């Protein structure tokens, strides 16, 4: 299912692991009931959205 949302007012957060060097980073925003993820270098570019369960699964596997 495709969701079209205006993300101009979304509160994006950058990973605490991304230093201030402008490297490869992602940002997330809580768009309840979804979690949106985008490339911090392309804030106007595309994003992907996950259900809370799918986001939790991703984090569980990414931190192993």
Among 2-6, 7-11, 14-18, 21-25, the range scoring the smallest mean pLDDT is 2-6
SS3 string, the chain, reads: CCCCCCCCCCCCEECCCCCCCCCCCEEEEEECCEEEEEECCCCCCCEEEECHHHHHHHHHHHCC
Residue 1 lies in a domain: no
Give the pLDDT score at 23: 66
Give the pLDDT score at 36: 93
Residue 39 lies in a domain: yes
pLDDT exceeds 50 at position 1: no
Domain span holding position 42: 25-62
Q: How many structural domains compose the chain?
A: 1
Give the pLDDT score at 45: 86
20-61: pLDDT as tens digits: 666 678 899 998 889 999 988 888 888 999 999 999 999 899
Residue 55 lies in a domain: yes
């Amino acid at each position: 299912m495709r969701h079209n949302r205006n993300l101009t007012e979304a509160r994006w957060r950058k990973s605490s692991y991304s230093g201030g060097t402008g490297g490869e980073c992602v940002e997330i925003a809580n768009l309840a009931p979804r979690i949106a993820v985008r490339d911090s270098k392309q804030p106007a570019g595309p994003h992907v959205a996950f259900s809370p369960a799918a986001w939790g699964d991703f984090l569980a596997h990414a931190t192993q």
